């Protein structure tokens, strides 16, 4: 997958010079005088969008931000899709304080209709940056989304694989064809025209146009019957019954067959809940609930506008009209910015639906508050238990875990992960590339990581962790105590050995064994496993980059500069193999012929490792 940030050159202007910004598609970043990132946004027209922030702050919080903006950095991108990729990457990396972020928004599934090729696939995508195409969602229930996709494919026989079409035709279809989920274009069982018609009807189906889809299926059924193809007619009859069964689930809520979203919002001092009711062709087809932090937001109208600007506009497959309640914000001004039409309820039916959305939001907020209190009580008890286990005088709010990772001594790395009040605290996560010469052992790597980390904390005057957890046993614990002695510091520390889950504590001869159901042990395991995951992920990324880079050197026409551009743009080999060579060449300024040559070499060497590769 192409990473927009790596292919775009950043430029920066002073706040007073925003008239110099380009009127092109891209991403803009607000910074304060210290260079800290305050806000990240994307726009079809960077100049127009940035000016709108200074002309109209959507909330008191945003007004405070505008007063601290010193410079505006911007990236011009080749498309809105690239801008979306870059915006997501920057928000995820820097977590700007004025960007509204949904809780776990990266995990919300979409149904993605790909647009490339003659036989595009339909599949689940975890983010709207999962590839170019048409997205439906997001949905908050993963299980129902998978079930819905399976029903969709069984009705319209769309492929769900990612096989490149240049590998068609294959010798035989896959099991999806046997299960009645695909029309097998890979072996020529369906024409391009018929497949495209099925694809369009599937999108109509998701848009709630059940009557149109039913009429189409019924026409196909009678055509088959008139041609005396009764087997095919029975197949269409069963499809018609399935569509009518789905339509019967969704009640009519509007007199007119209109597509409208109704958005309700409520919040307390810490949590905001948004509920989106989807009405398609007058039928209530779905309801989704989203949770976001609400610190700093004073009223629900400003929260709603931020949700529309930063989440709904960027992430949703929205209809022509969105119904909301906004008492102070001018609808005319907002409608000049949004590509959909914002309006208050137009009749009693719409008032009832908006009230229903707001009541759902209030109920969901009550549930979130109860869940939060339950989590806090559980975390309090666990950390109290940890305090007793170690005999600490103070309550251990900040617990950090350390792990190292290597493979035969190559690409050795170390990491530190943090948990604050029992929850992950990514702001303090750290990565280290082990610089020791030769092939250091686990103890040597642990020594270097601990020494560098605590020296950094000392130089910055940052807080030490209340408890430090090491992935290992008595040896790792001894290394940590030696480092603390050399640096002249003290920090409560323990080591957790994997095999028997033994806990090694300083000045105790025997390890402590807690029962498997102990919540303190389970919390320590959680910290240890998170450190292990973070370390292995970082190590694997570096190892893949190294092997990928050495392979690039073997391709004629790829020198050091082109090699760096390709390495920066792609996360893995699979994404490069399946990418469009013309598009890749254009974006990276590498001749298409060289990209094709590279793809052929990669497929030849690595094809057997792709899960969706056809049999040769």
Question: Of the ranges 9-18, 337-346, 604-613, which one carries the lowest mean pLDDT score?
Answer: 604-613
Percent of the chain beyond pLDDT 70?
87
Q: What is the structure's pLDDT at 571? A: 55
Q: How far apart are CA 206 and CA 80, in angstroms?
A: 24
Total length of the chain:
616
Domains 398-540 and 553-609 share a fold: no
Q: What DSSP line would sit under 177-236, residue for residue? A: HHTTS---GGGT-S-HHHHHHHHHHHHHHHTT-HHHHHHHHHHHHHHHHHTT-HHHHHHH
Q: If you classify domain 553-609 with CATH, what class do you get?
A: mainly alpha
- Residue 41, φ and ψ in degrees, nearest 5: -145, 165
pTM of the shown model: 0.65
State the Cα torsion 126-127-131-132 to the nearest 10°.
130
Query: Given its phi and psi angles, is residue 284 left (phi above 0), alpha (psi -120 to 50 degrees) or beta?
Result: beta
Q: What is the average pLDDT value for the chain, to the nearest integer?
A: 83
More confident residue, 573 or 80: 80
What six digits make up the tokens of 457? 């904390």
pLDDT digit string, tens, across residues 232-264 = 788 888 888 888 877 777 777 888 889 999 999
Is the pLDDT confidence value at 507 over 90? no
State the Cα torsion 352-353-359-361 to the nearest 10°.
-160
Q: For the domain with range 398-540, which CATH number is right: 3.30.465.10, 3.40.1350.10, 3.30.70.660, 3.30.420.340?
A: 3.30.420.340
More confident residue, 393 or 127: 393
Q: Are 554 and 601 in contact (CB under 8 A)?
A: yes
Pick from 546, 538, 526: nearest CA to 445: 538
More confident residue, 118 or 144: 118
Every domain of the chain and the residues it spans: 4-99, 115-249, 260-367, 398-540, 553-609
pLDDT digit string, tens, across residues 155-210 = 889 999 888 888 888 889 889 998 889 999 999 989 999 999 999 988 988 888 88
Q: What is the structure's pLDDT at 488? A: 93
Q: For the domain with range 260-367, which CATH number is right: 2.60.120, 3.30.420, 3.40.50, 2.40.50?
A: 3.30.420
Band (437; pLDDT cuts 50, 70, 90):
low
**Residues in Cβ contact with 347 at an 8 Å cutoff, skipping those fewer than 6 apart:** none
Q: What is the structure's pLDDT at 269? A: 84
Mean pLDDT of 520-532: 93
- Residue 557, φ and ψ in degrees, nearest 5: 100, -5
Q: Are 468 and 400 in contact (CB under 8 A)?
A: yes
Q: Beta strands 260-267 and 321-323: pairing type?
A: parallel
How many Cα atoms sit within 13 Å of 201 on the Cβ side?
25
Band (396; pLDDT cuts 50, 70, 90):
very high
Mean pLDDT of 436-452: 82
What six digits make up the tokens of 16? 């007073």
Is the pLDDT confidence value at 4 over 50? no
Band (59; pLDDT cuts 50, 70, 90):
low
Helix 519-552, helix 560-569: angle, nearest 10 = 150
Rounded to 5, what percent of the chain is helix, strand, coil? Answer: 50, 20, 35
Q: How far apart are CA 606 and CA 614, in angstroms?
A: 13
Q: Is 323 helix (H, G, I), strand (E, B) or coil?
A: strand
What CATH topology corresponds to 4-99?
GIY-YIG endonuclease (3.40.1440)
pLDDT digit string, tens, across residues 403-431 = 988 766 567 889 999 999 999 998 899 99
Q: Are 14 and 70 in contact (CB under 8 A)?
A: yes
Is the pLDDT confidence value at 223 over 50? yes
**Residue position matching structure tokens 């948004």:** 274
């Amino acid at each position: 997958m192409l990473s927009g940030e790596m292919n775009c050159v950043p430029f920066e202007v002073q706040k007073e010079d925003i008239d110099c910004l380009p009127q092109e598609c891209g991403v803009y970043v607000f910074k304060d005088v210290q260079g800290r990132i305050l806000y990240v946004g994307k726009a079809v027209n960077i100049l127009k969008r940035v000016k709108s922030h200074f002309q109209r702050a959507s909330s008191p919080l945003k007004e405070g931000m505008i007063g601290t903006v010193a410079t505006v950095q911007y990236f011009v991108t080749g498309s809105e899709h690239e801008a979306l990729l870059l915006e997501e990457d920057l928000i995820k990396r820097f977590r700007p304080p004025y960007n509204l972020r949904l809780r776990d928004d990266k995990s919300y599934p979409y149904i993605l209709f790909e647009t490339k090729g003659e036989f595009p696939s339909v599949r689940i995508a975890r983010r709207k940056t999962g590839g170019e195409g048409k997205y439906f969602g997001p949905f908050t229930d993963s299980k129902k989304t998978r079930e819905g996709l399976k029903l969709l494919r069984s009705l319209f026989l769309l492929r769900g694989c990612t096989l490149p079409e240049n590998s068609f035709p294959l010798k035989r279809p896959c099991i999806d064809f046997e299960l009645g989920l695909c029309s097998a274009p890979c072996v020529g069982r369906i024409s391009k025209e018929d497949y495209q018609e099925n694809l369009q009807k599937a999108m109509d189906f998701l848009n709630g146009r059940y009557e149109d889809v039913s009429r189409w299926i019924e026409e196909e059924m009678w055509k088959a019957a008139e041609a005396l193809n009764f087997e095919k007619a029975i197949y269409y009859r069963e499809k018609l019954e399935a569509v009518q069964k789905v339509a019967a689930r969704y009640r009519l809520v509007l007199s007119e067959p209109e597509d409208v979203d109704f958005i309700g919002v409520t919040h307390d001092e810490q949590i905001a809940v948004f509920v989106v009711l989807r009405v398609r062709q007058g039928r209530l087809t779905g309801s989704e609930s989203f949770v976001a932090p609400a610190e700093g937001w004073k009223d629900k109208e400003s929260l709603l506008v931020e949700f529309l600007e930063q989440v709904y506009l960027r992430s949703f497959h929205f209809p022509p009209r969105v119904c909301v309640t906004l008492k102070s914000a001018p609808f005319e001004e907002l409608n000049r910015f949004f590509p959909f039409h914002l309006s208050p309820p137009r009749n009693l039916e719409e008032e009832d639906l908006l009230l229903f959305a707001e009541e759902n939001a209030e109920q969901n907020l009550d549930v979130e508050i109860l869940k939060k209190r339950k989590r806090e009580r559980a975390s309090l008890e666990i950390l109290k238990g940890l305090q007793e286990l170690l005999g600490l005088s103070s309550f251990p709010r900040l617990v950090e875990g350390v792990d190292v990772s290597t493979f035969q001594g190559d690409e050795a790395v170390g990491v530190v992960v943090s948990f604050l009040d029992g929850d992950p605290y990514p702001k303090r996560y750290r990565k280290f590339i082990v610089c020791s010469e030769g092939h250091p052992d686990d103890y040597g790597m642990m020594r270097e990581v601990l020494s560098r980390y605590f020296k950094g904390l000392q130089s910055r005057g940052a807080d030490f962790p209340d408890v430090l957890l090491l992935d290992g046993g008595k040896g790792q614990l001894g290394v940590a105590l030696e480092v603390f002695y050399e640096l002249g510091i003290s920090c409560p520390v323990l080591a957790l050995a994997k095999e028997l889950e033994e806990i090694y504590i300083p000045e105790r001869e025997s390890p402590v064994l807690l029962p498997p159901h102990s919540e303190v042990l389970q919390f320590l395991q959680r910290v240890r496993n998170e450190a292990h995951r973070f370390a292995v992920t970082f190590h694997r990324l570096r190892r893949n980059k190294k092997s990928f880079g050495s392979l690039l050197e073997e391709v004629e026409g790829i020198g050091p500069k082109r090699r760096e551009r390709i390495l920066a743009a792609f996360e893995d080999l699979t994404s490069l193999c399946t990418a469009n060579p013309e598009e890749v060449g254009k974006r990276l300024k590498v001749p298409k012929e060289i990209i094709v040559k590279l793809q052929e070499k990669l497929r030849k060497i690595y094809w057997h490792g792709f899960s969706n590769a056809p049999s040769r």
